[in-house]
Copies of this chain bind each other. A is one copy, B any other.
């Protein structure tokens, strides 16, 4: 029995009613009853994506959906602009590379957001760029990229606009049609607060045009097959899907509709503000520049005099709060608090209180209660 509070940037805590939904009996995935569920869940996904286009579910991680976004529109030699401001931007680049396409990299300092003007400049200089990839919420650095502003400038170019909203959709502002996003991908286990293992993707008509001109470079992730399955009667997935995860995701999406997407985003914004305020009150340092910091995960520099293992180990073993470490060159330098999904002030109070005790135990002269007070302050009715 694992009672540890998950405060990592995914997978996130799954509500009991969502866990319960998973235990429903397995049905035939090529039956009317399942087809109805599939229709329903993909409609809600489109609603959450804020698009009139159809959405498709992929059994796999968010990375599978990122790969699907690329392998259906590229051929070897094609040029793709990959905005790289962290590990997941890098992943898009690696995917493009691994399929023999040319990745043009717009390198952004980790901890910073991309400047849309830099994208504009590259597009102006090179009209052969077929698509631009941007990671909305860079989980690895705790940075939010300005996908709305980028979308505005992308209207003037033919290149497809591909956005990874794996760790933002359902927790931060995403408006696929409003922002002019051509291909948008997400994962089940982040702000949507469903269990891990499912991904979703939606494509604009412009994107489908390119897809239709291409042979997919993957068999499992060939989106034409997903589209064909979606049109079948009853609707179906091309391959046997993770039925229990679809039950769970459906219930998690119902929770989102009940809460209201806008309300949910406000809740995430509050959690982010509360977390950042607490971190500053404890004299810790945010890793990213605060102005570009994420709404769903906060990256914090590990203070001098303590190791990642001591800090997160104490949090886990003594206070039963699981935090995330840094990735790649940030390993050992930052730790991360995920505040995505079903996060309220309660989980933040528990987390920040544990952090205070941990820091004190590890020899830091912090004022006990200052962090917790900063969290509570954000949630006081008069401050809302």
Residues of A within 8 A of B (CB): 1-4, 6, 8, 10-14, 19-20, 22-29, 31, 33, 59-64, 67, 94-95, 98-99, 187, 189, 195-198, 215-222, 238-245, 248, 322, 324
Contacts and interface: CB of A to CB of B under 8 A. Distances in A.
Contact of A26 (B27, B196, B217): B196
Contacts of A23: 19-20, 22-23
A4 B27 contact: yes
A82 to B, nearest CB: 13
Contact of A27 (B2, B25, B221): B2
18 contacts: A2-B33, A11-B28, A12-B26, A13-B25, A14-B25, A19-B23, A19-B25, A27-B322, A29-B196, A59-B61, A60-B239, A64-B239, A195-B243, A196-B242, A197-B197, A197-B240, A197-B244, A244-B245
A4 B26 CA distance: 9
A220 B60 contact: yes
A197 B33 contact: no
B241 A61 contact: yes
B26 A240 contact: no
Given A196-B240, A198-B242, A220-B220, 7 more contacts: A1-B25, A4-B28, A14-B25, A59-B197, A61-B240, A98-B222, A244-B248
A94 B219 contact: yes
A325 to B, nearest CB: 8
Contact of A67 (B4, B11, B218): B218
Would you list the 3 A-B pairs with minimal beta carbon distance, nearest first?
A197-B242, A61-B239, A19-B23
Contacts of A11: 26, 28-29, 240, 243
Contacts of A222: 98
A31 B2 CA distance: 12
B239 A62 contact: yes
A62 B60 CA distance: 12
User: Which among A12, A22, A95, A98 has the highest number of chain B CB atoms within 10 Å?
Assistant: A22
Contacts of A61: 59, 220, 239-241
A64 to B, nearest CB: 5
A239 B94 CA distance: 14
Contacts of A248: 244
A59 B62 contact: no
A242 B64 CA distance: 13
B242 A242 contact: yes
B14 A26 contact: yes
A63 B245 contact: no
B244 A98 contact: no
Contacts of A1: 24-25
